[in-house]
Structure 1
Amino acid sequence: MAFGLYLHIPYCLAKCRYCDFYSRRASRGVPEEYVAALERAIAGFYARESLPPPNTVYFGGGTPSLLSPAQAARLLAAAAPAPGAEVTLEANPETVNEKKLEGFLRAGVNRLSLGVQTARNESLLRLGRPHTAAQSRAALAAAKAAGFANISGDIMLALPHYSQAEFRETLELLQQGGAAHISAYLLKLEPGTAFGRTPPEGLPTDDQAAEFYLAAVERLEQAGYAQYEISNFARPGFEGRHNLIYWNCGDYLGLGPAAHSCLGGRRFYFPSSTGAFLAGTAAPVPDGGCGAEDFIILQLRLTTGLSLPALKEKYNMEFTQKQLQFVEKCVSAGYARFNGHTLRLTPAGLIIQNSILCGLLG
């Protein structure tokens, strides 16, 4: 079974208006004391939990590209990933250049996840993104020149005043930039964010957002990016291995403030306090376990779907007659496919996955 390590880098140049991830503003990169705190946490957990070398390492944030290549190398030396491990670093376009990316590649990073979001500057400005479309193009070109073969691009759908033309321009930017993987997310107004407090004008309706999503799935498929999860699309062989550990209910360790973990079915997380993490006083908070419902929820995010024999084998759970009848209703409505063994949601079903789960598990 694959094991993944997530390292949270909570520093950002600015807070985007839609973002509800834990982060702190920083203008001079990642403090050395934070890197040292992560090194101590890695060593401590590896010793206590007798963890194997991770098959994936993921630098998430925040803005992990504020790390220096030397800092990334230190953290990877501490992590000691297994041979052939996927090592992903999230990056903002305005924080990287060819020289820095060459340094990350030498440090052991072999997958770059670039936060492009959109190819239109007016949308980037509205989102509070600190980069331009030209900087996204330059960052993609720099990544290719530096030697990255595995490049992912994050984009957002259904933005204020969104159009199919904006999506086409964004997809073209990523295709020309050599992206082998695309994560496409619908804009959500999260409580506590700037957009949550003051929603922007020009937001699509829920039905319009669904239309943008379904059109994006179709267009990405035509462009050679096969959907393998609700929001993730890849050319063959470039699926994100780290997130697949999450969705397949594998073991992963998350280190840093607000980072979550699941080891041996036991969930826990660190408090959202950089100060406490730096001081070494941030004790992990228990968060229950990973059971049959978690497995169902996560497997139905994937286009491979939920295997009922696997559900029986792992958790000794079988669908009731009522649940099977609900599945048949979903199939009749075009939201799912079911062959008696595997339940898969269609794109139309994936976009209303929460509603389907309520009907299936409620």
Structure 2
Amino acid sequence: MSLGLYLHIPYCFSKCRYCDFYSAPGQRGVPPEYPDALLRELHRFAPDAPLRPDTIYFGGGTPSLLTPDDVARLVEAAQPRPGAEITLEANPETVTEETLRGFRAAGVNRVSFGVQSARDSQLKTLGRPHTAKQARAAFAAAQRAGFTNISGDIMLALPHYTQAEFDETLELIENGGATHVSAYLLKIEPDSAFGRKPPEGLPTSDEAADFYLYAVEQLEHHGYQQYEISNFARPGYEGKHNLIYWDCGDYLGLGPAAHSCMGGKRFYYPPDTDAFLHDTAVPVLDGSCGAEDYLILQLRLRKGLNLEAYKNLYGKEFSTAQLAFVQNCVKAGYANFDGKTLALTPAGLIVQNTILAELL
């Protein structure tokens, strides 16, 4: 079974207005003691031999605030398997061709840019510190630095959103050489600035659903096949790290607020950077990963839930009532079911939570 390693870099220049991820805004970089703390924890989980993960993912926060030397130290300590996917999330305004070349030399072979929108007015509303011009420059620099696996993020259903804004953003990302696109509906989180003061001009839920279906259609028209509820890729460029999550594989997350699931047991670090730095953060047990988790995660994927695998792994079978509900979903256009695999359509993915509530 594959093993994924997630390294959380919580430092940011500023906090985006929609973000409720754990981060420490107002930082101009990553303090040198932070990579040391990650190395300490990596050794703690693999004291006798290297971890040898199949994927490494530098997430944040803003991982591109790390120095290439720090990235190299962390990759070397983990000793990933040959051909491992090594991803670094990057904010466009934080990278140059020189730093991207440094990350490439450190072992990073996949870079993911948080673009969100091609309109500067929208980026300002979101609290993003970059401009569309900087996003274009970051993609071009990544290509010159030798990256052939590049992802870009798009946010949908933003304030005063239009299909034209999506088209402009997709054009920016596609022209930048992206092989992968993540397209997310804006969600107003209670602990975010938008949660405390929602912006004007937010689309209705029906309008947001229409934007999502339009995005799926346009992305596939441009050669990005949907393989997960929010993720699209050219053939062969699906994100291997996140697929470990969705297939209920083993992953180790290091850093404050980072989550792990190893051998079916979940745990996480408290969201406290100071405690993590000073080696007083004790991972908190968080239950186990079982049949319900597998069903939920597999139905995020366009390939769907294989009922034979579900039975073999967890001894679970759909009841007569569940199968009847599935047939109703098929008739409504929310799912495809051939008797062996249940897969939600894009319309079904929009109402996934309602479908899951019935199945569970």
TM-score, length basis structure 2: 0.99
Match of 1:296 in 2: 295
Deviation, structure 1 residue 46:
1.2
1:222-274, Cα deviation, whole Å (9 max, x unpaired): 00000000000000000000000000000000000000000000000000000
SS across alignment from 1:283? coil
1:163-204, Cα deviation, whole Å (9 max, x unpaired): 000000000001110000000000000011100011100000
Q: Does 1:184 align with 2:206?
A: no
The more displaced of 76-85 and 246-255 is: 76-85
Deviation, structure 1 residue 357:
0.3
Match of 2:258 in 1: 259
Match of 1:346 in 2: 345
Q: Distance in 2 between matches of 1:22 and 1:52?
A: 25
Deviation, structure 1 residue 322:
1.0
User: 8 Å contact 2:50–2:79 — kept in the other structure?
Assistant: no
Q: Does 1:123 align with 2:127?
A: no
Q: Does 1:280 align with 2:279?
A: yes
SS across alignment from 1:12? coil
1:51-73, Cα deviation, whole Å (9 max, x unpaired): 75100000000000000101111
In structure 2, give the amino acid aligned to 1:197: R
In structure 2, give the amino acid aligned to 1:196: G
User: 8 Å contact 2:50–2:77 — kept in the other structure?
Assistant: no
Deviation, structure 1 residue 294:
0.3
User: 8 Å contact 2:51–2:78 — kept in the other structure?
Assistant: no
SS across alignment from 1:11? coil
Q: Does 1:22 align with 2:22?
A: yes
Q: Distance in 1 between matches of 2:126 and 2:7?
A: 25
Q: Distance in 1 between matches of 2:313 and 2:341?
A: 15
Match of 1:325 in 2: 324
What is the alpha-carbon root mean square deviation over aligned residues? 0.9
Match of 1:111 in 2: 110
Superposed structure 1 runs of 4+ greater than 3 Å apart: none
Q: Distance in 1 between matches of 2:351 and 2:195?
A: 21
Match of 1:91 in 2: 90
Deviation, structure 1 residue 359:
1.1
Match of 1:146 in 2: 145
Match of 2:227 in 1: 228
Match of 1:9 in 2: 9
Q: Distance in 1 between matches of 2:322 and 2:188?
A: 32
The more displaced of 330-339 and 25-34 is: 25-34
Q: Distance in 2 between matches of 1:52 and 1:253?
A: 10
Deviation, structure 1 residue 351:
1.2
In structure 2, give the amino acid aligned to 1:360: L
Q: Distance in 2 between matches of 1:304 and 1:46?
A: 34
Q: Distance in 2 between matches of 1:17 and 1:79?
A: 34
Q: Does 1:61 align with 2:67?
A: no
In structure 2, give the amino acid aligned to 1:81: P
User: 8 Å contact 2:8–2:61 — kept in the other structure?
Assistant: yes
SS across alignment from 1:288? strand
In structure 1, give the amino acid aligned to 2:84: A
Give the aligned length. 360
Call closer, same or farther: CA 1:46–1:77 in 2, change over 3 Å: same
SS across alignment from 1:24? coil
Q: Distance in 1 between matches of 2:325 and 2:77?
A: 49
Deviation, structure 1 residue 26:
4.1
Deviation, structure 1 residue 290:
0.5
Match of 2:163 in 1: 164
Q: Distance in 1 between matches of 2:280 and 2:313?
A: 36
TM-score, length basis structure 1: 0.98
Q: Distance in 2 between matches of 1:27 and 1:156?
A: 25
Q: Unpaired runs of 5+ in structure 1?
A: none
Match runs of 1:300-319 below 5 Å: 300-319=299-318
Deviation, structure 1 residue 102:
0.2
